[in-house]
Amino acid sequence: MSAREFGELWALSQLSPGIHLVALAGLIGQRVAGWRGAVASVAGMMIPAAAITVGLTAAYGLVAAAPLAKAALAGLAPVTGGMTIATAALLVRATARRGVRHAIVDLAVAAASAAAALLFGVPTIAAIAAGALVGTLALGRERSPSRETPMG
Amino acid sequence: MDPLLLLLVFLKASALSIGGLSSLPLLRADLVTPGIATDEQVVQAIAIGRISTGPNGLYIVSLGYLIGGIAGAAMALVAATVPPLVVVPAAALARKWLLTTRVAGLVRGVALATAGLLVATGLGIVNATGTPAWWQIALAAIAIVLTYRGTIHPAFVIAIGAIAGLLLGR
């Protein structure tokens, strides 16, 4: 596979719903070996990782009720909350790579969504639908597609 | 919770999000708000998802296990795997359409709306167990900076949180 081909598949994967790495694995597998390749590459990525995740979760479950684990959780909550906020910043950074005007527009849309959820109790799904509508109508024309779409 | 219902909740969150952790606001609305899961379970799932191998979005497998055991984890795995794969036939059938400015705008709009929701969700998690103490606010700030910069492995950031909790959380 050439670098250009990989770049194109990567750009397509960034348009997928859910986990982009799954889409990328499926696209590469399909390109290399048809639908069987897609199944094999996605299964090869997801099944071992999911098994390890379940194993870690079950192991944590054995000690979760202990006082020490409860204390650790008091430190894990702010850390995972902070990681979630940082993910938001990374999403905005990924879409706003094209200069100041883009950054301002992107920050405004993200801030409106945060305010809708925090201050006005707008349902999550309604905020996503509003973002989809605003994006389709107004945010696609400022730039060429692909390549600059968010990672994750 | 009925595993099929859980599958639908996870599928919805996966199909309507763009990027790994982006499913979190929808899952928190559908699972924590009605009392099916707790914020403690969400925190555990995110932490384990960051320590484990594979994409960050696999935290939902951990959450599925915490809610519904092996069946719950299997439902979450299916829900994490199937929606992104719609792009494979879509790329084969309608590649040109996928690369139009409208689709780019749609993806950008959803990503930005999700970014705002992730801020709200992150603040909700930090505040989940009552008003945070000074050291918890400091931990959140450190986690934001370290995750944004991305120069150290997330498992270390998780470890910093766990150690700080052990020292100060009692």
Q: Over the stretch A113-126, which tens digit does the pLDDT of each residue have?
A: 999 999 998 999 99
B44-78 as b/e: b if 16+ CB within 10 A: bbbbbbbbbebbbbbbbbbbbbbbbeebbbbbbbb
pLDDT value at position A141? 65
Chosen from B112, B135, B156 to mutate, greatest number of chain A CBs within 10 A: B112
Q: Tell if the CB–CB gap between A145 and B104 is shorter than 8 Å.
A: yes
* Residue B18, SS3 per DSSP: strand
A106–B contact, CB cutoff 8 A: yes
| Most confident residue range from A77-86, A102-111, A134-143 | A77-86
pLDDT value at position A145? 44
A54–B contact, CB cutoff 8 A: yes
Q: What is the mean pLDDT of residues A47-64?
A: 95
Q: What is the mean pLDDT of residues B134-160?
A: 95
pLDDT in tens, B29-85: 999 999 999 999 999 999 999 999 889 899 999 999 999 999 999 999 999 999 999
Q: What is the mean pLDDT of residues A116-143?
A: 88
* pLDDT at position A144 over 50: no
Q: What is the mean pLDDT of residues B125-151?
A: 93
pLDDT value at position B146? 96
pLDDT value at position A151? 47
* pLDDT at position A97 over 80: no
Question: Can you give the residue ranges of every domain in chain A?
Answer: 3-61, 99-148
Measured distance CA(A67)–CA(B119) in Å, rounded: 30
pLDDT value at position A98? 73
Q: Min CA distance, A99 vs chain B (Å)?
A: 15
pLDDT value at position A152? 44
* pLDDT at position B104 over 50: yes
Measured distance CA(B108)–CA(A8) in Å, rounded: 18
Chosen from B9, B88, B100 to mutate, greatest number of chain A CBs within 10 A: B88
Which of B18, B122, B137 lies nearest to residue A88, judging by beta carbons?
B122
Q: Tell if the CB–CB gap between A139 and B105 is shorter than 8 Å.
A: yes
Which of chain B's residues have a Cβ under 8 Å away from the Cβ of A137?
105
Class of residue A36 by CB neighbours under 10 A (exposed 0-12, middle 13-18, buried 19+):
exposed
A151–B contact, CB cutoff 8 A: yes
Measured distance CA(A116)–CA(A77) in Å, rounded: 24
B18 bridge partner residues = A18
Are the C-beta atoms of residues A13 and B12 closer than 8 Å to each other? no
pLDDT value at position B46? 96
CA angle centred on B106, ends B103 and B107, rounded to 5° = 90
Which of B19, B47, B144 lies nearest to residue A150, judging by beta carbons?
B19
Chosen from B108, B131, B148 to mutate, greatest number of chain A CBs within 10 A: B108
Greatest alpha-carbon span in chain B = 58
Nearest-CA neighbor of B13 among B74, B86, B80? B80
- Torsion over CA of B90, B95, B100 and B102, rounded to 10 degrees? -10
Instruction: Provide the mean pLDDT of chain A.
Output: 89
Are the C-beta atoms of residues A47 and B125 closer than 8 Å to each other? no
pLDDT value at position B138? 96
* pLDDT at position A68 over 50: yes
Class of residue A34 by CB neighbours under 10 A (exposed 0-12, middle 13-18, buried 19+):
exposed
- DSSP class of A136: I
pTM: 0.90
A78–B contact, CB cutoff 8 A: yes
Q: Min CA distance, A62 vs chain B (Å)?
A: 12
